[in-house]
Structure 1
């Protein structure tokens, strides 16, 4: 016997999810792209690192707001495991990618922000990959120690990412009883 997918319900969930994610995702993308401007200045003034930290706080606030207020409404309306997994997958991707940009910008502005084996002649893609790796390791709380924040700005941003990873985990566990698995 084949299952029939309820297309209107399927589409309405993703439309609702897209609407809820639009503001936060746009804000995170704009903040991440603003780092291109900061890094192109070729200035190592500490105020720029502080601006990156402030932007990371703003981003964290919007992600927490999205998770706690908006997405709890979505979970309240849709109890399907596939919807919840999609929701958390997008949320985790958003967090890991956005913090990768934070780390990358801090490193480009001041290579002394992180203790790492990277050299100054790495390509932009290689550097971003290294900080994408670092962000994923930080989010998962593994922490191998091959990249370590040295500056206060770097440490604050790492703390924000760890806070978000625990927040997402606790939010998921707190709502686990609301999830239904279709058999």
Structure 2
């Protein structure tokens, strides 16, 4: 079967489908970085802004991004490409929730137990680790959400991982594998 040389490549299709999600997650993360400079001002409303943005991102992941990825799965011709699709989506979700956790903990030092505040980069690494463990449903217990808002964010991330796993398993049969 001859391929159309004018057809967009898999990478272009993937990036075009995921670019709104990448932009949204990046913009919210940059907004959080901006808000972090006001930590000393005790702005209590920022915690609710974090929750609101986490909900918007979760809805966006659930309804828009998965729809875009479903389209890519129908065009997917190899397991390698399928792994790239899900790997990118998982990475975006983990990064997204890690940035939520960092910002929330910046404005509420008691939101999580098990992390000592020790600078933005170290805190981000710790919350990226926590987000990865939460997404994978491992839950070692070394970092624990304590506040109600932190628990809601963790529940949202667990819901996202469940939705992605169910979505992935239900659509794996739709993939057209190249037998050559």
Q: Deviations over 1:22-81 (max 9, x none)?
A: 111101100011111222112333311001000001111111123431111111222421
Distance 2:127 2:33 in 1: 15
State the alpha-carbon separation in 1 of the partners of residues 6 and 173 from structure 2: 21
1:169 correspondence with 2:165: yes
Give, in angstroms, the shift of residue 164 of structure 1.
0.7
Alignment of 1:19-98 (within 5 A): 19-42=16-39, 43-98=41-96
- d(CA) in 1 for partners of 2:155, 2:35: 22
| Contact persistence 2:44–2:107 (CA under 8 A) | no
**Which whole-Å CA distance do the structure 2 matches of 1:87 and 1:7 have between them?**
22
For residue 181 of structure 1, report the CA deviation from its aligned partner: 6.2
Matched, 1:143 2:139: yes
The separation in 2 between residues aligned to 1:154 and 1:181, in whole angstroms, is 44
- TM-score by length of structure 2 reads 0.90
1:111-159 Cα offsets, whole Å, 9 max, x none, are 100111x334x12221111101000000000001111111111111111
Query: Which structure 1 residue ranges, 4+ long, deviate > 4 Å from structure 2?
Result: 6-11
Structure 2: runs of 5 or more not aligned:
none
> What value does the CA root-mean-square deviation take over the aligned residues?
2.1
Paired residue for 2:10? 13
Give the total of aligned pairs. 177
Contiguous gaps of at least 5 residues in structure 1: 1-5
Kept in 2, the 8 Å contact 1:67–1:168? The answer is no
Q: What SS is found at the alignment partner of 1:173? A: helix
Q: Distance in 1 between matches of 2:139 and 2:124?
A: 18
Counterpart in the other structure of 1:111: 109
CA distance in 1, matches of 2:38, 2:49: 14
Tell me if the contact between 1:80 and 1:182 (Cα under 8 Å) persists in the aligned partners.
no
Say whether the 8 Å CA contact 1:21–1:66 is kept in structure 2. Answer: no
